[in-house]
Amino acid sequence: MATTATRATAAHGAGGKATKHPHDVPPVLRVAEPPAELAREALVLNNRSLGWITEAIAGICEKPMPKWWWPVFLLSAGGMTMMFSLVAYLIATGVGVWGLNQPAAWAWDITNFVFWIGIGHAGTLISAVLFLLRQKWRTSINRAAEAMTLFAVACAGIFPVVHTGRVWYALYPGFLFPVPNANAIWPQFRSPLLWDVFAVSTYGTVSLLFWYVGLIPDLATLRDRARTLIRKFSYGLFALGWTGSNRHWCNYEKAYLIFAGLSTPLVLSVHSIVSFDFAVSVVPGWHTTIFPPYFVAGAIFSGFGMVLTLLIPMRALFNLHDIITTRHIELMCKVLLATGSIVGYAYGMEFFIAWYGGSPYELYAFKNRAFGPYWWAYWSMISCNVISPHFFWSKYLRTSPVFVWVVSIFVNIGMWFERFVIIVTSLHRDYLPSSWGYFTPSWVDVFTFVGSFGLFMTLFLLFIRFLPAIAISEVKNVTPQADPHHPLGGAKGHH
């Protein structure tokens, strides 16, 4: 880890100190400093000290929240309450309060489920895959992205449970989980819907544990800085007696690496299995082998869209520009560009295969997508997902936070429409024209979905309020001060 940080600070102007090596190393062993044009931009700008980093991040959850927090929180909590009220209304009345019908027995419910589950994938990619690939820029954004993953999974979990109508059977053992029960029934292990239950619950559990393990050193920091007994007690309880000893760090690093290893396959497997919900069926428009990679790319695309939607305002409102830098935003835009291009390719390839495959039903399903009664949904999806990421070929555009933020919203909209298009346009007209139909959402559909954003934002705002939104110890790790071989590093009184 030494080289990057060393070069970074050297280029950033640590002044004449960078040329004078602090240790007595023979000249032959010294590595020449790279030329300035090859140096990477520092991950923490303005050469901030370790103390400043702690103060900037821990301070957010110690000082009173800024003025905007309460109105936004109340609005979100109101949305959440609305969603739970509508869920209660549905449970009391039946799934008929939604606009579902035959043949469109899945519509907004499963659309919302896939939408929210997909968003979670960015968090896992950032926390696990980028960790294994030693991408140090992840440290500034992984905590918030992982939190976002958990909250998105919480929102996602509601819809498939509620869409069964008799939710007590969905939660009751035997329906979803293989537990002996009074109905003497057993889940169908050949059904991808059951694989989905396991995929999503594994995903939720591993993400939670990974997030929590990463939080432990920071919780101890908050405990040590706490002034009231309640804060000391509650942060102390979850800090698990962390003292920052060498042994603690050894165990921590091992556990973190193991969780990164466990989470990495989940980035690919969870959304592959979600895509099996469709691909394993025989519905034209669903039964395609491209679905797993196409869904995974789409999930990462939507997830990075949501990370940008959340973090760009967060860094502005809490003045975190030195930690979440423009370079971070730029790198995330590149991920959007890459995954967005994969998604666009998949859209094209689906059409090609529909024609090349020679199945009239398949071809009709795709013609109907683009030019049938739901043409507006299809072209909304295309404009948001295929066109918008290509703005990021321009360095100027991907380094303008406001522009990036606006595009990230379009990505979110486009990815919701993608799931709607896949689910509803395929279902509403399948093999038999006599059983064709049209789906229109009811007001309950609409407000339940809107309310799920309330739940998501409520959880995220509480997270910002009570937990360090950026991984303090990890960010410190990528500063030059953490590097004992660096002129600024080690215990030399520079910080």
- Give contact residues for other proteins (rule: CB under 8 A): 182-185, 223, 229, 232-233, 236, 241
To other proteins, the closest distance from the beta carbon of 164 in angstroms equals: 13
123 by Cβ neighbours in 10 Å (0-12 / 13-18 / 19+) ranks as: buried
Q: Is 47 left (phi over 0), alpha (psi -120 to 50) or beta?
A: left
- Show the DSSP H helices in 163-290 as ranges: 167-171, 192-225, 229-238, 246-279
Q: How far is the CB of 274 from other proteins (least distance, A)?
A: 23
Report, in Å, the least distance between residue 172 CB and other proteins.
9
3-state secondary structure of 66: coil
Residue whose CB is less far from other proteins, 212 or 361: 212
**How many beta carbons lie within 10 A of that of residue 93, not counting itself?**
11
Q: How far is CA 95 from CA 31, 101, 159, in A?
A: 68, 10, 11
Q: Which residue number, 38 or 184, has a Cβ lying nearer to other proteins?
A: 184
Count CA within 13 A, CB hemisphere, residue 414: 28
Residues whose CB falls within 8 Å of the CB of residue 215, separated by 6 or more in sequence, listed in order = 143, 238, 467, 468
Q: How far is the CB of 181 from other proteins (least distance, A)?
A: 8
Residue 77: CB minimum distance to other proteins, A: 29
The per-residue b/e assignment along 318-352, b for 16 or more CB within 10 angstroms, e otherwise, is bebebbbbbbbbbbbbebbbbbbebbbebbeebee
The nearest distance, CB 237 to other proteins, in angstroms, is 8
Residue 420, judged by CB atoms within 10 A of its CB (0-12, 13-18, 19+), counts as buried
- Whichever of 2 and 194 has its CB closer to other proteins, that residue is 194
Structural tokens at position 126: 């950032």
Specify the residue, 31 or 185, whose C-beta has the smaller distance to other proteins.
185
Task: Give the count of beta carbons closer than 10 Å to the beta carbon of residue 92.
Answer: 8
- The residue among 32 and 184 lying less far from other proteins, judged by its C-beta, is 184
| CB nearer other proteins, residue 31 or residue 179 | 179
Of the pair 232, 334, the CB lying nearest other proteins is at 232
Structure tokens at 410: 């379009």
CB of 233 to other proteins, least distance (A): 6
Shortest distance (Å) from residue 232 CB to other proteins: 5
Q: Which is nearer to other proteins, 13 or 94 (CB)?
A: 94
